[in-house]
Amino acid sequence: MKDLFDLTGRIALVTGASRGIGESIARLLASRGAHVIVSSRKIDACQAVADSIVADAGKASAFACHVGEMAQIDAIFAHIKSEFGQIDILVNNAAANPYYGHILDTDQAAFDKTVEVNIRGYFFMSTAAGKMMREQGGGVILNTASVNGIVAGDKQGIYSITKAAVISMTKAFAKECGPLNIRVNALLPGLTDTKFASALTGNDKVLSMALRAIPLGRVADPDEMAGTVLYLVSDASSYTTGACVIVDGGMLA
């Protein structure tokens, strides 16, 4: 029987892959045979993850890209086209959340940074990958959104707004790209133990309140997000597009 989770021969770009959920995704996709391009803003951190994957007998390389910068988006896809000639999987996982506080006190700098990475970055990464996928006959795009895109997080207003936009973006791309054999889905993580979520997990009072709302009673490990991503980018989900899969320990149930 065919292994539906086998990614041998596929080229996968994972953004925000130097730590946290992105790193877990990169490691799992490589373990299933993909060549993973590990990307984030800092090349040294990317290279360390790529070297570790290679040391574990996987295939990986590193390329720095700030998805909030259009020139850097152009550069990474020019590199992929020149080096590999294809892109089979794009995981939009890099994100910004510079402000934690009351929505009325959001300043323009925090607003602009969150929007440029979480919305503009995801959009133009997806169009760049999608154009290559259209030429080659198909591919898969996976967006990391958030449960905050469904129920806004307290003191996480602009971040929640951008993640709601990512959910809508996922559905819009899925609808228009389906005829091109490009599938587009989203992962909606709940509270996960990452540096990115440290404003929540590092505050005992906030964490205690959050755990009371999670039926499983604990924070997720980043590795617990990667399995859902593997399903959504593999042939196991070949008839799934426009799906937004919630992985939150039951919080929204």
Q: Which residues are catalytic?
A: 159
State residue 83 phi and psi, 5-degree precision.
-80, -40
Q: Which two tokens mark 121?
A: 């970055």
Distance CA 36, CA 212 (A): 37
Kindly state the greatest CA–CA separation across the chain: 57
Q: Do residues 21 and 189 lie in contact, with contact meaning Cβ atoms separated by under 8 Å?
A: yes
- Here the tokens at position 117 are 């990475």
Helix (H, G, I), strand (E, B) or coil at 190: coil
Residue 22, burial from CB neighbour count under 10 angstroms (0-12, 13-18, 19+)? buried
Cα–Cα distances in Å, from 40 out to 16, 65, 125, 213? 5, 5, 13, 32
